[in-house]
Homo-oligomer: A and B are copies of this chain.
């Protein structure tokens, strides 16, 4: 069993309640990565769902999740033939930490539903050997936490910020996989959609960029292998920025989409090209 599967395990406690254990192997500075928490919550939702796939998950991040015991409460709002919708709340010390709503359904093969199919262009990436690991940007600290679990390799065209040469555009492209051998599924996609460095790093704003809201859609069950991810922002303004991500599988299919609203690096933000320290993707969740 991988660290990721251990970190996202659930223990049923009856009446729609589950015990979970936010795992400090996915935490930095005391806050556990939100994607890992969402994966735990999806396990709880799918445990009692009449449909197999988490089609649409929306999540509002309320408080910093700590690596301590927590509970997930699942309440079903609708059980339909095509879709079902549940509210799932992550609770620590009696307070909601992460509020999500999940609509489940079945991802048919494209040949179903009359065969109507249309798809946009996948991201273009150089070979993985030419891409840069995010751990390279972590500076002199011991290689630990999120970057020890997740292998993200950035297209050099979007990793200039780590070398003090930000590209000047809010976008990232790269490869994603766990360092342990594990095929992607719905739970890993929940992690993947928010695994890249914040797009504002491309504008030389390196620091704490807490996510306020994130919604992601699962579009297909991913093929085994490395995932490709492209993110971009459309507007950075007034201290807020949006970030959207597309995740493509090894078979060349768009398997997940996300969009989040986040706050531009606060407190520790630097406007220089300094590499972030500690490693980045796990430092995105926090109290606002």
Contact = CB atoms under 8 A, between A and B. Distances in A.
A112 B234 contact: no
B288 A82 contact: yes
A85 to B, nearest CB: 5
Nearest to A217: B261
A200 B116 CA distance: 10
A52 to B, nearest CB: 13
A251 to B, nearest CB: 13
A157 interface: no
A190 to B, nearest CB: 15
15 contacts: A56-B213, A56-B261, A58-B60, A63-B78, A77-B99, A103-B213, A107-B240, A112-B238, A113-B238, A116-B236, A117-B236, A119-B237, A120-B233, A213-B217, A219-B235
A129 interface: no
A114 B271 contact: yes
Contact of A233 (B58, B78, B118): B118
Contacts of A110: 237-238
A112 B239 CA distance: 7
Contacts of A82: 263, 288
**Which 4 pairs between the two chains have the least Cβ-Cβ distance?**
A113-B239, A58-B58, A56-B213, A108-B238
B238 A83 contact: no
B240 A55 contact: yes
Interface of A: 55-56, 58, 60, 62-63, 77-78, 80-83, 85, 87, 96, 99, 101, 103, 105, 107-110, 112-114, 116-120, 169-170, 200, 203, 205, 212-213, 215, 217, 219-220, 233-240, 242, 244, 246, 254, 257, 259, 261, 263-264, 269, 271, 287-288
Contacts of A63: 78
A85 B60 contact: yes
Interface centre among A169, A215, A264 (most CB of B within 10 A): A215
A213 to B, nearest CB: 4
A235 B112 CA distance: 15
A212 B114 contact: no
Nearest to A200: B116
Given A83-B212, A217-B242, 18 more contacts: A56-B213, A60-B101, A82-B263, A85-B99, A103-B212, A103-B261, A113-B238, A116-B200, A116-B203, A116-B205, A116-B236, A116-B271, A119-B235, A213-B217, A215-B215, A215-B259, A244-B259, A259-B259
